[in-house]
Amino acid sequence: MANPDPNAAQPPLRAAIVPVTPLQQNCTLLWCTKTMRGAFVDPGGDLDRLRAAATQHGVTIEKLLITHGHIDHCGSAGIFAEELGVPIEGPHEADRYWIARLEDDGRAYRVPGKPFEPDRWLVQGDQVTVGELVLDVYHCPGHTPGHVVFHHPESQLAIVGDVLFQGSIGRTDFPLGNHQDLIDAITTRLWPLGDETVFVPGHGQPSNFGQERRTNPFVADSVLARA
């Protein structure tokens, strides 16, 4: 028998999580294995660590993707984009309020923060590319009004920022937060992606939607049925 094609088992998308900033925010390096071109999702800070991760995996960064305007997710994104000479895509324009505050919030959280203007604001139904990968964009307001989620259907992988966590959901007590919007976004935009879908949250361990629908104390089916 001939040796199997070494490329056959290679998934089209690979991802590596790099926690950044004192808030231990999960920056995700994701890349197209065919072209070895990639993107950082939420490069909030610790740019030395992010540069090292890209080098370690042999990935050429072609853009930065942002889920929402909070300091730990995008404080250093403008600085990084300028340095790398790459565009920023996301979040939704409703997060202008937060992006404008990045310098002030950076002082408070000890993260280099700099306001930026994304090259592309995203809306519900948009798609973004990374190499030859195509990810779908879902607008999921509630934690912030302009929060977006990135989903790669072929990999059954979603990067959800601070919308949903293993066993919890995003805070909605910040300015412009809205609890009902968040619950609606999770149930009408994330759950339809399927129980098998694995998600990388903005903080903590990955999980999948099915597990959260069974056990999450805020959004499990049984909990919402009682509400």
CA nearest to 164, candidates 146, 188, 182, 145:
182
42 sits near Zn ion (criterion: CB under 5 A): no
Q: Is 43 helix (H, G, I), strand (E, B) or coil?
A: coil
Smallest distance from Zn ion to CB 189, Å: 17
95 sits near Zn ion (criterion: CB under 5 A): no
Smallest distance from Zn ion to CB 21, Å: 9
70 sits near Zn ion (criterion: CB under 5 A): yes
- From residue 227, alpha-carbon distances to 135, 163, 177, 214 in Å are 33, 19, 20, 15
Only one of the segments 1-9, 59-67, 85-93, 160-168 lies at the binding site for Zn ion (rule: CB under 5 A); that segment is 160-168
Smallest distance from Zn ion to CB 115, Å: 16
Q: Tokens at residue 155, please?
A: 């990999």
Nearest to Zn ion of 72, 126 (CB atom): 72
Nearest to Zn ion of 37, 70 (CB atom): 70
Smallest distance from Zn ion to CB 20, Å: 10
Q: How many residues bind Zn ion (CB under 5 A)?
A: 4
Q: Which of 89, 95, 162, 212 binds Zn ion (CB under 5 A)?
A: 162
Nearby residues of 55 by Cβ (< 8 Å), 6 or more positions away: none
Beta strands in the chain (DSSP E): 13-20, 25-32, 37-41, 60-65, 88-89, 127-130, 133-139, 148-152, 157-161, 164-165, 168-169, 198-201, 207-208
202 sits near Zn ion (criterion: CB under 5 A): yes
What's the rounded Cα separation, in Å, for the pair 154 and 38? Answer: 17
Q: Tokens at residue 79, please?
A: 């600085």
Nearest to Zn ion of 70, 152 (CB atom): 70
What's the rounded Cα separation, in Å, for the pair 207 and 178? Answer: 24
Only one of the segments 33-41, 70-78, 178-186, 208-216 lies at the binding site for Zn ion (rule: CB under 5 A); that segment is 70-78
Smallest distance from Zn ion to CB 68, Å: 6
Only one of the segments 6-14, 67-75, 98-106, 215-223 lies at the binding site for Zn ion (rule: CB under 5 A); that segment is 67-75
Residue 101 DSSP class: T
* Binding-site ranges for Zn ion (CB under 5 A): 70, 72, 162, 202
